[in-house]
């Protein structure tokens, strides 16, 4: 998935937070490697992505990179760049349901999946 022109003409001039920028660019890279549709990535995968977490570390910032990841995702969601769904996984015989977040770029195809 190449970085679309709208990223440079509309989004980039508006993004002020480095975490949002890094998360957005990393998602372009991650989703370009995926095959099939819909192209999405789980929050679990993002939290386990050492390349992404390393890029979110900042000298002098006491916050852990996971907190900056959360910040970047929330800002991208608020801007409308990303869409998120929460899927509840229930295992047979297990009363606890695991909730997994999935992130998509906000495209017509992704909106069909999310809605």
pLDDT at residue 70, rounded to an integer: 98
- 58: preceding bond cis by omega (within 30 degrees): no
Question: Is residue 17 included in any domain, yes or no?
Answer: yes
Question: Is residue 44 included in any domain, yes or no?
Answer: yes
Q: Both tokens of residue 49?
A: 């992505």
Confidence of residue 1 (pLDDT cuts 50, 70, 90): low
Question: Is residue 74 included in any domain, yes or no?
Answer: yes
Question: Is residue 16 included in any domain, yes or no?
Answer: yes
Tokens 């995926």 appear where? Answer: 34
Going by the DSSP 8-state scheme, the letter that residue 62 receives in this structure is -
Question: Is residue 112 included in any domain, yes or no?
Answer: no
Question: Is residue 105 included in any domain, yes or no?
Answer: no
Question: Is residue 38 included in any domain, yes or no?
Answer: yes
Count structural domains, the chain. 1
Question: Is residue 73 included in any domain, yes or no?
Answer: yes
pLDDT digits (tens, 9 = 90+) for 81-112: 999 999 888 777 667 778 899 999 999 888 98
Range of the domain at 46: 5-81
């Amino acid at each position: 998935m190449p970085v679309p022109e709208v990223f440079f003409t509309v989004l980039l001039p508006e993004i002020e937070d480095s975490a949002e920028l890094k998360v957005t660019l990393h998602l372009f890279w991650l989703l370009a490697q995926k095959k099939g549709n819909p192209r999405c990535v789980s929050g679990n995968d993002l939290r386990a992505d050492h390349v992404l977490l390393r890029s979110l570390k900042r000298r002098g910032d006491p916050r852990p990179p996971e907190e900056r990841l959360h910040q970047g995702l929330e800002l991208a969601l608020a801007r409308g760049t990303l869409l998120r769904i929460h899927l509840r996984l229930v295992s047979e015989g297990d009363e606890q349901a695991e909730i997994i977040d999935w992130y998509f770029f906000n495209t017509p195809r992704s909106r069909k999946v999310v809605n």
